[in-house]
Amino acid sequence: MTVHVPTLLLMIMVAGLVMSLSVGAVANWRQRDGMMYWAVGLAMHGASYLFVIQSDALGEFNAFLIYNLCRACSWAAFAEGLYQFCKRPAPRALIWTPAVLAIISFVLLFDHLVLRIVSTSLLGAAQVLLVLSLLWQVRHQTPGRGKYFLITGLIVALTLLLLRAVKATQGDATVIVSLTTSNPIQAISSFAVLTILMLLSIGFVLLSKDRSDNLNRMLASRDELTGLANRRWMREVLTSEWSRATRSGQALALVMIDIDHFKDYNDQYGHQAGDDCLKQVAQAIAARAARAGDLAVRYGGEEFLLILPDTDLSDVQRLAKNLCQSVEALGLGHLNSPSGRVTVSVGVAVQSEHLYKDAESLLRAADEALYRAKHGGRNQVQVALASLSPGAMAPRPSMKLVRLIWRRAYESGNAVIDAQHQRLFSDANELLNAVFGDQPKDHLENLVQVFVADIAHHFQTEEAIINKAAYPAAAEHAKCHRDLLAQSETLARRYRAGTVAMGELFEYLVHEVVARHVLVADREFFSSLNAS
């Protein structure tokens, strides 16, 4: 059976345009999810064959020039879309230079058929490799199945382009360039292109859908205003932690928190100020949920809850007392509060030695302790009476409340960078122990100063190393360093001036600098270090 290649080309063109319209219909430019770029890329890829079909009317040079221009720009659009989807700055020189070179080489080598096919094929392969390399880098952070469709489509495209270059050097250049001639090579190529377009369009739509589903799941478990866990998620975690504590015999602490006189605050300062107050208090509370198993919850209205596994009474009392001080140190003015500032009341309950029969009993005990704190004068910590039994009060000296643990999986392969990363972990642990140990403010200020100085020294050293390793995104990484360091220094100054709480400063240093930057962003240059 003979396959009619012009009909296949028409099918590819129609399929590309239909898939482009489908992707474009669900794209939202304001969301910056890359789908609009992807729709443009599919449209240009499909439309390129229109000019091939019209080569007799346009002339071979004009038809194939526009064809190559559309193909090169379509791959550049795919790259732009994927970088936007991944929320990464697009390296436009890397994206568009191959497209420009493809057109230049086509014009200069038009009369040299083999060289023209080889050069345009290899430049197209370079564009595909750029998209494939980014997708491979983010495969672990990208949820769902869409990435596998994309990777498969890109590998097929890369293989096709490389085979095209090899076939041209073996004397099949005339057959390759005759896109409208029915022959086995063009038939196989056309089927491959159709498959590639389907895989790329389906893959990107699935990629976007999987991300939306993941975001919806997260939003379903998060409070929209504060970003803390909501009651639905709290129920699941509390049930799980209760079962684990019951099996292991470890303590489980609950901390119930209520903002004092919050209704009066809302009435006097307005709902916008009330929302801002809730967010700042929530941030201070979240800073106390620093371990992997801890959970900070917006329980409802102005009430919050901390679930702290493996935490005994002495540790949770220190944490609750520190939280009260940190909220008051926020300096949110409140005329109807005895202290003139926003404060919180805290109730604590600890499951130990089977004091409570179930999780609901433990939760009610924390709520009752909170009730006593509110009616006993507010801005204080009260402990559930059952939790004051000897078993609950017995400390476990070997247990540390919060500690960042360095693991081999965090290593970059560079001894200097790894040593400095471990030093930042040590700084964070030392500061945290001092915070929960009720150390005086001057001691905390000294620890913060050391922490920020170590961050600055590390950033400077790291930039020198990644520049020497020729890391492509070194400039963007250095800018990120400058922003992080500037904010760290600003918060440190505000803490010394008493205009920001230690909770906010600590959360930024540990969560933004150590957790998000050191453990996530820095991983992007590990491959460059290993290659050098």
In a shared domain, residues 488 and 519: yes
Do both 65 and 182 map to the same domain?
Answer: yes
Asked, for residue 482, whether it belongs to a domain, the answer is yes
In this structure, is residue 45 part of a structural domain?
yes
Among the candidates 196, 218, 240, a domain finishes at: 218
174 and 102 in a common domain:
yes
Model pLDDT for residues 328-350, shown as the tens digit of each residue: 999 999 988 888 999 999 999 99
- Calculate helix-pair angle for 313-329, 415-436, nearest 10 degrees: 90
Domain co-membership, 189 together with 256: no
119-129 mean pLDDT: 92
Report whether 381 contacts 395 (CB < 8 A).
no
pLDDT at position 402 is 47
Tokens 């929209």 map to which residue? 224
End-to-end Cα spacing for the chain: 53
The confidence score (pLDDT) of residue 397 equals: 38
Structure confidence at residue 353 (pLDDT)? 67
Per the structure, the count of domains in the chain is 3
Which positions ≥6 away from 456 have C-beta within 8 Å? 485
Do 62 and 179 lie in a common domain? yes
Contact of 144 with 204, CB cutoff 8 Å:
no
Cα(441)–Cα(479) distance, integer angstroms: 32
Centre a 10 Å sphere on the Cβ of residue 428 and count the other Cβ atoms it contains: 24
Q: What is the pLDDT of residue 187?
A: 65
Last residue of a domain, one of 358, 393, 428: 393
Q: What pLDDT does residue 352 have? A: 76
Whether 287 and 421 share a structural domain:
no
Whole-number average pLDDT of the chain = 83
pLDDT value at position 77? Answer: 92
- Residue entry with tokens 């040593």: 419
Residue 158 belongs to a domain: yes
> Which H, E and C letters describe 442-503, residue by residue?
HHHHHHHHHHHHHHHHHHHHHHHHHHHCCCCCHHHHHHHHHHHHHHHHHHHHHHHHCCCCHH
Q: Are residues 213 and 109 in the same domain?
A: yes
Q: CATH no. for residue 461?
A: 1.20.120.50
Angle at 273 between CA 337 and CA 368, to 5 degrees: 50
300 belongs to a structural domain: yes
Read off the pLDDT of residues 220-261 as tens digits, 9 standing for 90 and up: 678 888 889 888 888 888 998 998 888 878 889 999 999 999
Q: Measured between alpha carbons, how far is 315 from 318 in angstroms, rounded to an integer?
A: 5
- Yes or no: say if 452 and 488 are a contact pair by the CB < 8 Å rule: yes
- On whether both 199 and 331 belong to a single domain, the answer is no
pLDDT of amino acid 6: 66
Structural domain includes residue 223: no
Q: What would the pLDDT profile of 274-292 be if each residue is shown by its tens digit?
A: 999 999 999 999 988 877 7
Residues 6+ apart with CB under 8 A from 351: 242, 245, 251, 252, 253, 362
Asked whether the beta carbons of 28 and 39 are under 8 A apart, the reply is no
Pairing type for strands 303-309 and 252-259 reads antiparallel
pLDDT of residue 186 exceeding 70, the answer is no
SS3 track for 168-183: HHHHHHHHHHCCCCCC
The mean pLDDT of 308-337, rounded to a whole number, is 90
Q: Which amino acid is at 132?
A: L
Please tell me which residue, 249 or 27, carries the higher pLDDT value.
249
**Residue whose pair of structure tokens reads 């803490």 in the numeric block:** 495
Tell me which residue range forms the domain holding 339. Answer: 231-393
d(CA 368, CA 362): 10
Nearest to 255 by CA among 303, 352, 320, 300: 320
Q: Which helix (H) or strand (E) segment is 307 a member of?
A: strand 303-309
Q: Do 422 and 513 lie in a common domain?
A: yes
Q: 164, 195, 218 — which closes off a domain?
A: 218
Quick: pLDDT tens for 413-444: 888 898 899 889 888 888 877 876 667 888 88
pLDDT at 172 over 80: no
Q: What is the pLDDT of residue 376?
A: 82
For tokens 């930024």, name the residue.
508
Cβ distance 521 to 141 under 8 Å?
no
CA pair distance 86, 99, nearest whole angstrom: 22
Which of these, 57, 52, 62, lies nearest to 8 by C-alpha position?
A: 52
Q: How far is CA 141 from CA 37, 137, 200, 266, in A?
A: 21, 9, 19, 40
Average pLDDT over residues 179-202: 72
Banded pLDDT at 1 (limits 50, 70, 90): very low
pLDDT number for residue 182: 53
pLDDT band per the 50, 70, 90 thresholds, residue 387 = low
Task: Answer yes or no: are the C-beta atoms of 295 and 306 closer than 8 Å.
Answer: yes
Residues 321, 252 share a domain: yes
Q: What is the CATH number of the domain that holds 165?
A: 1.20.1070
Q: How many other C-beta atoms lie within 10 A of the C-beta of residue 527?
A: 15
- Give me the CATH number covering residue 310: 3.30.70.270
Identify whether residues 243 and 163 lie together within a single domain: no
DSSP readout, 10-52? HHHHHHHHHHHHHHHHH--GGGT-SHHHHHHHHHHHHHHHHHH
Q: List C-alpha distances in Å: 433 to 294, 482, 497.
A: 17, 28, 22
Average pLDDT on 370-390 reads: 81
- Whether residue 503 sits in one domain with residue 382: no
Query: DSSP assignment of 310-336, as one string?
Result: T--HHHHHHHHHHHHHHHHHT--B-TT
Among residues of the chain, what percentage have pLDDT more than 70? 88
**399 is a domain residue:** no
Report how far residue 74's alpha carbon sits from residue 20's, in angstroms, rounded to the nearest whole number: 11
pLDDT at 394 over 60: no
Report the pLDDT value the prediction gives residue 96, as an integer from 0 to 100: 93
Residue 401 lies in a domain: no
- Residue 519 in any domain: the answer is yes
